[in-house]
Amino acid sequence: MLNIVLYNPEIPPNTGNIIRLCAITGFALHLIEPLGFAMDDKKLRRAGLDYRESQRVLVHDHWQAFVDSIAPRRIFAISTSGQNHYHKIDFVPGDTLVFGAETRGLPKSFLAQLSPSAVLRVPMLPDNRSLNLSNTVAIVAYEAWRQQGFAGAV
């Protein structure tokens, strides 16, 4: 299993979609506060459908609380400033994939704590800002799951 971490997510429907994705893939979902919404937000519930009931979502007060709680083996940040493409990484169970807020991405101070090789990007045509957060998470999560032989899938 991998950890999906949303660092200060802002838009409830994106997080709801990612709740569904994590329920379907078996990945753990972690949210780092502050959040741009309440966990009982109507839009979050609508996007997450009934998966919200079956998917455990862990909310952490801050990044260090997540690290102390989970002790992740390897951390990869997904950012438009990344130099390495996500599909060139050999993902393994226990890896952590961190995604930033929809309007700001991950803070530069956060990215500076990681090796440049651990900051990944999704390829895009030039002169584009970024993909939607839930789309980006889906792209990277499914590649990681594919590399693990879609473990547990039917």
CATH architecture of 3-147: 3-Layer(aba) Sandwich (3.40)
pTM of the predicted model as reported, rounded to 2 decimal places: 0.92
pLDDT of residue 38: 81
Strand bridging mode 75-78 / 57-60: unpaired
pLDDT of residue 45: 63
The helix/strand/coil state of 76 is strand
Q: How far is CA 32 from CA 101, 106, 111, 112, in A?
A: 10, 12, 15, 18
Per residue in 2-26, pLDDT (tens digit) is 999 999 999 988 998 999 999 999 9
Domain boundaries, the chain: 3-147
Instruction: For residues 42 and 30, give the distance between their C-alpha atoms in angstroms, rounded to a whole number.
Output: 20
| Residue 29 burial (CB count, 10 A) | 21
Longest distance between any two alpha carbons in the chain, whole Å = 41
Q: How far is CA 131 from CA 14, 20, 103, in A?
A: 12, 18, 11
Per residue in 29-88, pLDDT (tens digit) is 999 999 988 877 576 666 555 555 656 789 999 999 999 999 999 999 999 999 999 999
Q: Which of 147, 122, 113, 140 has the alpha carbon at shortest distance from 6?
A: 140
Instruction: For residues 154 and 150, give the distance between their C-alpha atoms in angstroms, rounded to a whole number.
Output: 9
